[in-house]
Structure 1
């Protein structure tokens, strides 16, 4: 076995969208939020403590505004074992500007004045609930644009983590997102730019091959809507022709996440960025885990992934802000 001193270094970050739970196939809730998943956070933090993981909790307004939920989080935050980031769900965050549909649920579709007002309300609630001024931000439902990045810079944020590599929809396009941590160009946020105020930390998404351009081309070929009835995506998964993989223990098994470690190393990415939703810690909280014992499944997947990653790299466990300092010091970030 290769000695530890000969293995490459990898920073490992786990970030969690810490939010209300609801039926993702139904309408967006605007009142009477359920945040029962907060009861699982102390046990999840204890699990992370045992592995050395220092989570970053992206907390939304509904979670911070609920006294019982915030009481579960506050001792964890006060202990310094984690970081708190800001997570903006338009439907759950005042001020309100009417009903929230699919279009309005994406932050990138809101008028900037509405986004700013909601962000100010969120920051005030996080200060009131936890006494924190967050350094990291993530949109609800992913995606970011230049004017929101500029808003974040004006509000004093140093980190954004809203980019979801190899994904696009009708409202934003992250398909060509730079895979390593980088300083985004505000005119073209998927690319590195010249500004040095706001770092982008994409979550880890990749394939079961190490050439991202080649594997993306394969995936796009088999996932064309015109070919959907042929079920080529499923066939490609079973034959290993191409597998799109997510470093997320709520959707990918520990074994299936293993290739993402090799994908990161082959593409000189100094970081593994795992992500999940707090609502997945309770059974049927998101619909992403159908089997009972969701939290146990998530924890087993994390343990299995880390056991493999530890054979391939020397892991350092950080919050996002800690990772920003460490990566910048070690290797710099993409320019």
Structure 2
């Protein structure tokens, strides 16, 4: 796992920065076992539905793409035009079960790249990087592990392959039950890590929010064991504790604003809005099961962007731009 380093503490007057990260991937049934043949990328023909919104707000998103996207024309062609117009950044997103070489057992645990042997994690990420380079004619430096699956070998592998930005930490979430990492104590603040602290971690924005304060995590976990009476829902309605993520998938505009204000008041000035590319087509994910839910999903982008740019006076950024800005600011701190 990426070791947590001291957060980059920016001056409170720093303009809040918003980056957009899209897990750009094949369509698959998240409740089913891994299947290396489940590699359809038909949803990409509708990716313009979100890109049009980004263009409207002059936002340059980051598409982190996996092997099925990077190796099939139906996956990468919709992005080529966007990328060539300099309207997005491209990073790598490793789904091991659909990324050669195929040497591991297809298990839930092995869906987390960091659970593979060092040699196999390296080989898969190297293949993905080379495939992206072949299609987009550049070498990606931004990485996000599939299923947030970073572990002890990931940092050295990233450094060896030339990656210097990681987007894998899912703040406040714990995936250890099926072999994944535990980020429940992670902060939403970015930090430097890796050789000579030259690599940047930009976590997904999330937090335990509510009046419980330092007791939030333990209380939230305890409520999970009492789920027969929907204890977590009760705690949320009473504003005692809720676990929120800055995502249009499963979270409302009110929750986006609540989380952002909470983090902003704590001094956080970097925010990550994250979702999965198949959600742009009804029925591809549980978050947009029909056209009505897709419309609400897309509307939530505009509602949040209006809040962030107008009420919070924020600015749009990208992982690369954010790293450059933080390098300059930390030099002067």
Considering the TM-score relative to the shorter chain, is it more than 0.5?
Answer: yes
Instruction: For residues 141-175 of structure 1, give each alpha carbon's deviation from its aligned partner in whole angstroms, at most 9, with x where no partner exists.
Output: 01312321111011111101111111112232111
Which aligned pairs between 1:61-80 and structure 2 lie closer than 5 A?
Answer: 61-80=67-86
**Cα distance in structure 2, aligned partners of 1:232 and 1:103:** 29
User: Which sits farther off after the overlay, 304-313 or 90-99?
Assistant: 304-313
Partner of 1:219: 220
**Cα distance in structure 1, aligned partners of 2:287 and 2:76:** 25
Match of 2:101, SS? coil
**Cα distance in structure 2, aligned partners of 1:117 and 1:232:** 44
Match of 1:74, SS? helix
**Cα distance in structure 1, aligned partners of 2:212 and 2:317:** 27
User: Which sits farther off after the overlay, 72-81 or 320-329?
Assistant: 320-329
Which aligned pairs between 1:132-211 and structure 2 lie closer than 5 A?
Answer: 132-170=138-176, 171=179, 172-184=181-193, 195-209=196-210
Distance 1:177 1:230, change over 3 A: same
**Cα distance in structure 2, aligned partners of 1:295 and 1:9:** 31
Q: CA RMSD in A?
A: 2.2
Distance 1:10 1:267, change over 3 A: same
Tell me the CA shift for residue 65 of structure 1.
0.7
Tell me the CA shift for residue 216 of structure 1.
2.5
TM-score (norm 2): 0.89
Tell me the CA shift for residue 201 of structure 1.
0.5
**Cα distance in structure 1, aligned partners of 2:145 and 2:254:** 29
Partner of 1:94: 100
In the alignment, structure 1 residue 240 sits paired with structure 2 residue 249: no
Match of 1:322, SS? helix
Match of 1:58, SS? strand
TM-score (norm 1): 0.88
1:61 and 1:125 in contact (8 A); partners too:
yes
Match of 2:126, SS? helix
**Cα distance in structure 1, aligned partners of 2:87 and 2:276:** 19
Consecutive unaligned residues of structure 1, counting only runs of 5 or more, are: 1-5, 187-193
**Cα distance in structure 1, aligned partners of 2:250 and 2:102:** 32
Instruction: For residues 14-50 of structure 1, give each alpha carbon's deviation from its aligned partner in whole angstroms, at most 9, with x where no partner exists.
Output: 1000000111111222125210111112332121110
Tell me the CA shift for residue 69 of structure 1.
1.9
Tell me the CA shift for residue 317 of structure 1.
0.7
Consecutive unaligned residues of structure 2, counting only runs of 5 or more, are: 1-11
2:191 and 2:202 in contact (8 A); partners too:
yes
Distance 1:258 1:167, change over 3 A: same
Match of 2:196, SS? coil
